[in-house]
């Protein structure tokens, strides 16, 4: 189908974008990468009055790396996240997860902000944000800047706390010093949406897990923080029986969907497999 009628504006500053969003009274859609919005427009599932194209706002296209962590501006492309040498050095899980997203032709346009705001529960970046405790910076004309933990930001299927007059301007991923952080997923083919993805961060001392953070993609209506998995692993050595128990704990605490791509039981099975694989792999690394 062809998109419905809308008017379009490409502001050059955040302030101008916020003015337009405020004036549009919930009828605006923000155009960043367009890889999620334009298909919705093309199917007439999205019917905004105004499309606000933020790709020209230079202030949003920044990567800021400090000792505290990494701040990615909203319009940073996932292709850049994948290849940026600074990110590879300071927070390699970000490029690693980005490399799973679709294909280069999509990553050349997909943005950090767009992916987080679209909030597809099967997408990689939202799960990463929840696992790593990312803080999202949102701005509006009326209320200024607010900061929200990723875990609170994602409400449900394609649903976040972002108000109609708000713009997500940046996502801040704190450093987790001393943690090993990894992301893995099982998809039908490389680049397909995962059945389930897992972001796992482990802090180890003398072979014992002293802290764990984990979140799953595709295991529920929003990215799921796997608290039971975390507590099952904490204080343990990564033996195979611990991996099994952790896998069971993770499977038990999620409520995955059943759809054309698979049953809930299947997705639990995938999550179990990911937990086993990632903990086993980390155990081997520790031993080495």
* Residues near another protein, by CB under 8 A: 1-12, 16, 20, 31, 34-35, 38-39, 41-44, 50-53, 55-56, 79, 102-106, 108-109, 186, 188-191, 193, 195, 260-263, 265-266, 269-270, 273, 276-277
How many CA atoms does the CB half-sphere of 106 hold within 13 Å?
A: 17
**Please, what sign has the CA dihedral across residues 230, 150, 46, 8?**
negative
Q: Between residues 71 and 75, which has the closer beta carbon with respect to another protein? A: 75
Contact call for residues 214 and 201 (beta carbons, < 8 A): yes
How far apart CA 19 and CA 102 sit, in angstroms, is 33
Residue 214 phi/psi, 5-degree rounding, is: -155, 145
Q: Between residues 225 and 268, which has the closer beta carbon with respect to another protein? A: 268
Q: CB 205 → another protein: shortest distance, Å?
A: 30
Q: Between residues 124 and 172, which has the closer beta carbon with respect to another protein? A: 124
Q: Quick one: 7 exposed, middle or buried, by C-beta within 10 A (0-12, 13-18, 19+)?
A: exposed
How far apart CA 73 and CA 221 sit, in angstroms, is 25
Q: Between residues 54 and 128, which has the closer beta carbon with respect to another protein? A: 54
Q: CB 36 → another protein: shortest distance, Å?
A: 9
Q: CB 1 → another protein: shortest distance, Å?
A: 6
Q: CB 78 → another protein: shortest distance, Å?
A: 12
Contact call for residues 196 and 219 (beta carbons, < 8 A): yes
Q: CB 90 → another protein: shortest distance, Å?
A: 19
Q: Between residues 132 and 247, which has the closer beta carbon with respect to another protein? A: 247
């Amino acid at each position: 189908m062809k998109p419905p009628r809308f008017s379009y504006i490409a502001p050059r500053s955040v302030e101008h974008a916020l003015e337009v969003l405020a004036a549009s009274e919930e009828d605006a859609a923000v155009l960043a990468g367009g890889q999620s919005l334009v298909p919705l427009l093309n199917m007439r599932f999205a019917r905004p009055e105004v499309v606000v194209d933020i790709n020209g706002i230079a202030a949003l296209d920044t990567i800021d790396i400090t000792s505290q962590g990494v701040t990615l501006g909203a319009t940073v492309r996932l292709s850049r996240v994948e290849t940026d040498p600074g990110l590879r050095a300071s927070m390699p899980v970000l490029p690693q997860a980005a490399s799973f997203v679709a294909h280069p032709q999509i990553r050349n346009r997909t943005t950090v902000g767009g992916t987080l705001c679209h909030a597809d529960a099967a997408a990689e970046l939202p799960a990463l944000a929840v696992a790593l405790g990312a803080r999202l910076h949102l701005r509006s004309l009326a209320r200024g800047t607010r900061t929200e933990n990723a875990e609170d930001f994602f409400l449900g299927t394609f649903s976040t706390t972002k108000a109609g007059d708000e713009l997500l301007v940046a996502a801040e991923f704190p450093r987790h010093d001393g943690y090993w952080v990894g992301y893995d997923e099982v998809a039908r083919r490389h680049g397909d949406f995962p059945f389930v993805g897992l972001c796992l961060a482990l802090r180890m001392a003398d072979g014992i897990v002293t802290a764990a953070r984990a979140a799953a993609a595709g295991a529920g209506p929003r990215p799921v923080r796997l608290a039971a998995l975390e507590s099952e692993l904490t204080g343990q050595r990564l033996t195979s029986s611990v991996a099994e128990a952790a896998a069971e704990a993770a499977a038990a605490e999620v409520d995955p969907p059943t759809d054309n791509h698979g049953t809930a039981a299947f997705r639990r099975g995938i999550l179990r497999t990911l937990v086993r694989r990632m903990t086993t792999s980390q155990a081997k690394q520790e031993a080495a």
